[in-house]
Structure 1
């Protein structure tokens, strides 16, 4: 295996963002006059559906026939409002990178490795996070970005990773994916990628069968040997 590129998921992998997403959803629901309020238990289940708009649709499918339902256009509009609210919350400093992420990204860049993102979240959410945590545009850190608003099928479908690989111009064997969830793991594996899983707040109880490695976080002490050999010469 020649390791030439690292492909990262965003939410839950780069940072523990899901609680901020949940807050943004609930505040937007209230603003729209909806009596929806997603608890942590609710959200743990809903996260098994990739994509925010898809999550809303899945949730209201479970509601009673007499409950208020949003049209597809309303879902898109509500999600746009939620995205703006999320960006505002992130900009206020409500999130930090997970342990080891900043170090790994820096070492990979120094080693001349390619860096990419493959995420079901939207591009504005990606930009909000990189600006808040690095003070940089996403493309300055991750020259290849495949985001959820560019694909028809969200994780666990492999389409998002196949798009990232196409833009990298590399075969799966030359890359490693970093994920925190089972649906992300299955997406990356479906594209033929070896996967390092670092479970997050909402995925720590999942099984991650098939992962090349399952480690608590990406602190240097936890780096798989393939990363140590490729990145650490000191």
Structure 2
């Protein structure tokens, strides 16, 4: 019986990717770079998970060699821009998420997060959306900077399961991307996949249930899920 829901963040809890894209571009401008990631390019770059990894991949696509120290500084600046945008109220939770969280808590389910984004990004978004006590809602958080390999590797889900002390069969992941579905399935979890703006064309094969948006999330769905074989 499922008693734990593990959420992805970017694209799942909130439609963050456009704000991430804007933050990258502002950071590039602040560093005097002539890079500009438009929407089609950013869709392609999202196949590489993790902000630092995404910058590195872009530099290599442009024929350059990425310096890890420079990439880290650039990404830190981007994170600060993103946090400021979130603090301004630019990134609300997706419609349906807050109601689903409230229903899950009322039933006594455990909630957790497993994401490739960094802890500062998690804190910025959830503090703004849910208030300073958001850790009471999500007592276990697995972030991309806590694991060796990011999605589609299962590491962050395996970390969350370890911290929860739960077997995969008692949990369900909620994801919006191909990489997310692969990561959750790799850790043995069933998946509810919700379409999002930047992953609207992703192949979500492997998800137990696929939804067009978060508005369709309900606790009844949990009763329809059987653990993946």
Do Structure 1 and Structure 2 share a fold, with TM-score over 0.5? Answer: yes
Q: Which runs of 5+ in 1 are unaligned?
A: 230-234
Q: Which runs of 5+ in 2 are unaligned?
A: 225-229
Aligned Cα root-mean-square deviation (Å): 1.6
Report Cα offsets for 1:75-115 as digits up to 9, x if no partner: 01111111111000000011111121001111111111111
- When the two structures are aligned, how many residues end up with a matched partner? 225
Distance between the aligned counterparts of 2:118 and 2:214, measured in 1? Answer: 24
Q: TM-score, normalised by structure 1?
A: 0.92
Q: TM-score, normalised by structure 2?
A: 0.94
Q: State the SS of the aligned residue for 1:115.
A: strand
What corresponds to 1:111 in structure 2?
Answer: 107
What corresponds to 1:232 in structure 2?
Answer: none
Pick one of 141, 145, 148 that aligns with 1:145: 141
Distance between the aligned counterparts of 2:23 and 2:133, measured in 1? Answer: 22
Distance between the aligned counterparts of 1:218 and 1:71, measured in 2? Answer: 39
**Residues 90-101 of structure 1: pairs in structure 2 closer than 5 A:** 90-101=86-97
**Residues 192-231 of structure 1: pairs in structure 2 closer than 5 A:** 192-219=188-215, 221-223=216-218, 225-227=220-222
Q: Structure 1 residue 127 and structure 2 residue 126: aligned?
A: no
Report Cα offsets for 1:146-196 as digits up to 9, x if no partner: 001101100000000000000010000000000000000000000000000
Q: State the SS of the aligned residue for 2:214.
A: coil
Give the deviation of 1:70 after TM superposition.
Answer: 4.3
Distance between the aligned counterparts of 2:133 and 2:29, measured in 1? Answer: 31
Distance between the aligned counterparts of 1:222 and 1:81, measured in 2? Answer: 35
Q: State the SS of the aligned residue for 1:29.
A: helix
What corresponds to 1:22 in structure 2?
Answer: 21
CA distance 1:130–1:222, shift in 2 (3 Å): closer
Q: State the SS of the aligned residue for 1:11.
A: coil
